[in-house]
């Protein structure tokens, strides 16, 4: 038995009021508990308890030893509790890369709520649509839309989104509402998101695929700006739904292709 266990056994004997009760509480034999006390006194070279068959009483040295043992045990318990609380309370820094539009509209409120619950977390957030190098640039995680390009990364799907093809009613009134895919080739233009494919992909009920590439009248690296421009009647836009959904809900933009399916490339 180590010294710490000796202290715990001695405290148990004193608190229980007898060796018999202490042994019962620890579910060990009375003789084993008595031997622990005798061994402890022998090692210390002092008598801790004056005991008879009917009673026990702490000696002066026993009282000092008991008080110090209680203090040490309490200190150890306090340290362990503090470490458990420290582990339970999240802390540290997290460097995150998120798409600009998604981050500001959807992620920022969630992060702010999380930060209020965990004030010891310090976020460093890069709102940018570029594809960062997570390892080389020191990011802890990156939130991205699309397929995982690097198989060395671990990814977890947190949500699903679709890409829609939309335009304003004003634009449709001027340029016409296409009924078939080929109608897009007549008098229609697009607002293009930089660094993405400019080709529109469609499929019919028989899953036959058609590709259309419209002339661009505006190129930008910001989806919110493109949606706003589309709502003003400047052209057709291919947009993630999470960016343009408010425009659609307010009927500033319309997803008007009913007879064929627009597919994400």
User: CATH number, domain at 63?
Assistant: 1.10.10.10
| Tokens 């060796």 belong to residue | 19
Residues 22 and 75 in one domain: yes
Of the candidates 119, 123, 97, 130, the residue with the CA atom closest to the CA atom of residue 196: 130
Predicted pLDDT of residue 261: 53
Residues 201 and 251 in one domain: yes
Higher pLDDT, 53 or 57: 57
- Tally: H helices and E strands in the chain: 9, 12
Kindly state the average pLDDT of the residues 180-209: 82
Residues 171 and 247 in one domain: yes
CA-to-CA distance for 12 and 18, rounded, in angstroms? 9
Residues near 60 by Cβ (< 8 Å), separated by ≥ 6? none
Number of domains in the chain: 3
Structural domain contains residue 149:
no
The DSSP call for residue 167 is: B
Is residue 232 predicted with pLDDT exceeding 90?
A: yes
What is the average pLDDT score of the chain? 84
CA-to-CA distance for 159 and 121, rounded, in angstroms? 24
Structural domain contains residue 150:
no
Structural domain contains residue 204:
yes
Predicted pLDDT of residue 168: 92
51 token code pair? 């005991």
Predicted pLDDT of residue 262: 55
Q: What are 64-80's pLDDT values in tens digits? A: 999 999 999 888 888 88
Residues 189 and 242 in one domain: yes
Q: What are 133-172's pLDDT values in tens digits? A: 887 888 888 888 776 666 667 777 877 778 888 999 999 8
Last residue of a domain, one of 68, 88, 108: 88
Residues 21 and 39 in one domain: yes
Structural domain contains residue 178:
yes
Q: What CATH number corresponds to the domain at position 168?
A: 3.40.190.290
Higher pLDDT, 44 or 203: 44
Residues 76 and 104 in one domain: no
* Residue 201 pLDDT level (bands cut at 50, 70, 90): confident
* Residue 259 pLDDT level (bands cut at 50, 70, 90): very low
Predicted pLDDT of residue 265: 45
Structural domain contains residue 236:
yes
Predicted pLDDT of residue 254: 85
| Tokens 């499929």 belong to residue | 203
Q: Is the dihedral of CA 152, 155, 161, 167 positive or negative?
A: negative
Helices (H), 51-153: 60-88, 100-102, 108-117
Higher pLDDT, 53 or 6: 6
Domain range for 137: 92-142
Last residue of a domain, one of 142, 176, 204: 142
Predicted pLDDT of residue 239: 86
């Amino acid at each position: 038995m180590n010294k710490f266990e000796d202290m715990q056994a001695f405290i148990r004997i004193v608190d229980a009021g007898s060796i018999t009760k202490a042994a019962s509480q620890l579910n060990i034999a009375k003789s084993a508990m008595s031997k622990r006390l005798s061994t402890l006194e022998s090692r210390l070279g002092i008598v801790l308890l004056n005991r008879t068959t009917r009673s026990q009483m702490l000696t002066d040295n026993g009282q000092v030893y008991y008080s110090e043992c209680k203090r040490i045990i309490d200190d150890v318990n306090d340290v362990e509790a503090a470490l458990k609380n420290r582990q339970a309370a999240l802390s540290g820094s997290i460097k995150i890369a998120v798409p600009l539009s998604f981050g500001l509209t959807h992620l920022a409120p969630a992060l702010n709520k999380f930060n209020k619950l965990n004030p010891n977390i310090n976020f460093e957030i890069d709102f940018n649509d570029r594809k960062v190098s997570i390892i080389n640039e020191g990011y802890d995680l990156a939130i991205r839309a699309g397929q995982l390009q690097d198989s060395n990364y671990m990814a977890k799907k947190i949500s699903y989104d679709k890409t829609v093809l939309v335009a304003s009613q004003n634009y449709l009134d001027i340029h016409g509402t296409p009924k078939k895919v080929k109608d897009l080739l007549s008098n229609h233009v697009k607002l293009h998101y930089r660094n993405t494919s400019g080709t529109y992909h469609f499929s019919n009920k028989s899953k036959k695929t058609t590709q259309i590439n419209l002339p661009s009248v505006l190129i930008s690296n910001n989806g919110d700006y493109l949606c706003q421009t589309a709502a003003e009647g400047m052209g057709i836009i291919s947009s993630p739904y999470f960016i343009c959904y408010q425009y659609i809900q307010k009927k500033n933009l319309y997803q008007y292709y009913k007879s064929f399916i627009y597919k994400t490339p």
